[in-house]
Chain A
Amino acid sequence: AQSVAQPEDQVNVAEGNPLTVKCTYSVSGNPYLFWYVQYPNRGLQFLLKYITGDNLVKGSYGFEAEFNKSQTSFHLKKPSALVSDSALYFCAVRDPGGNEKLTFGTGTRLTIIP
């Protein structure tokens, strides 16, 4: 069965510093990986996804994620954090051999400190 782990419930970063939100996954084959962001009282918004090819994926709002097959990780990164990046971030995985089912991690609350 596929699964996703987000080891940090909370990440605090000073404004202007680089940020990383961690995600590790487990699937039977090559994974399809996604990052979503949730702002307060809103639905989830798609940030980026990894399907195949380049291990560094660029997404919305200046975010990028690095796929590392040997470490089964898909960490979300941004070179310079903004206060407006404060939100709840979810990593998700889909088994390419399976159906449309998307398995989510438990989420990481990112707080950018001015």
Chain B
Amino acid sequence: NAGVTQTPKFQVLKTGQSMTLQCAQDMNHEYMSWYRQDPGMGLRLIHYSVGAGITDQGEVPNGYNVSRSTTEDFPLRLLSAAPSQTSVYFCASSYYRGPTDTQYFGPGTRLTVL
């Protein structure tokens, strides 16, 4: 299994540009989520999904959109990038059997918005 994969690894955007961060998993996990990691702030949940066709907002959803058309893929869209969105983004997945489940993380995407 490849586990959780993310593309691209690095991205530089100009303010106002849009882009999509890709996330895929091959473990048949129902639950997928996006986090951003900023220095001194740990990881903060942006959006999550408990299955295909179902998404919900996390702690910091503003400026981001998600969709979940398949079990495997969970892309994160930035419609109009802002410098405040400069961060490292992690996708994670787990089975949806309950809160004891372990989340598996992708390698991350480092995004810089100029």
Q: Which one, B12-20, B63-71, B77-85, B98-106, is touching chain A?
A: B98-106
Tell me if B111 counts as interface (CB < 8 A to partner A).
Answer: no
A/B pair count, beta carbons within 8 Å: 57
Which residue of the partner chain, among A41, A94, A104, contacts B43 with CB atoms under 8 Å? A104
Distance from B106 Cβ to chain A, minimum over Cβ atoms (Å): 5
**CB neighbours of B58 from chain A (8 A):** 101
Contact: A32 with B108, CB < 8 Å? no
User: Once the chains are docked, how many angstroms separate the CA of A44 from the CA of B107?
Assistant: 8
**CB neighbours of A62 from chain B (8 A):** none
Contact: A95 with B99, CB < 8 Å? yes
Residue picked from B33, B96, B99, B100, most chain A C-beta under 10 Å: B99
Tell me if A102 counts as interface (CB < 8 A to partner B).
Answer: yes
Decide yes or no: A106 and B45 within 8 Å by CB, A44-B105, A46-B102, A46-B104 being known contacts: no
How many of chain A's residues have a CB under 8 angstroms from any CB in B? 26
Q: Using an 8 Å CB-CB cutoff, how does the interface string of A78-94 with B read, 1 for contact, 0 for none?
A: 00000000000010001
Residue picked from A42, A90, A100, most chain B C-beta under 10 Å: A100
Decide yes or no: A100 and B102 within 8 Å by CB, A42-B107, A44-B90, A90-B43 being known contacts: no
Distance from A101 Cβ to chain B, minimum over Cβ atoms (Å): 6
20 inter-chain pairs at a CB distance below 8 angstroms, sorted by A residue, are A43-B4, A43-B105, A43-B107, A44-B90, A44-B92, A44-B105, A46-B102, A46-B103, A49-B100, A51-B100, A94-B100, A100-B94, A100-B101, A101-B45, A104-B35, A104-B42, A104-B44, A105-B42, A106-B40, A106-B42
Interface residue ranges, B against A (CB under 8 Å): 4, 31, 33, 35, 40-45, 48, 50, 58, 90, 92, 94, 96, 99-108
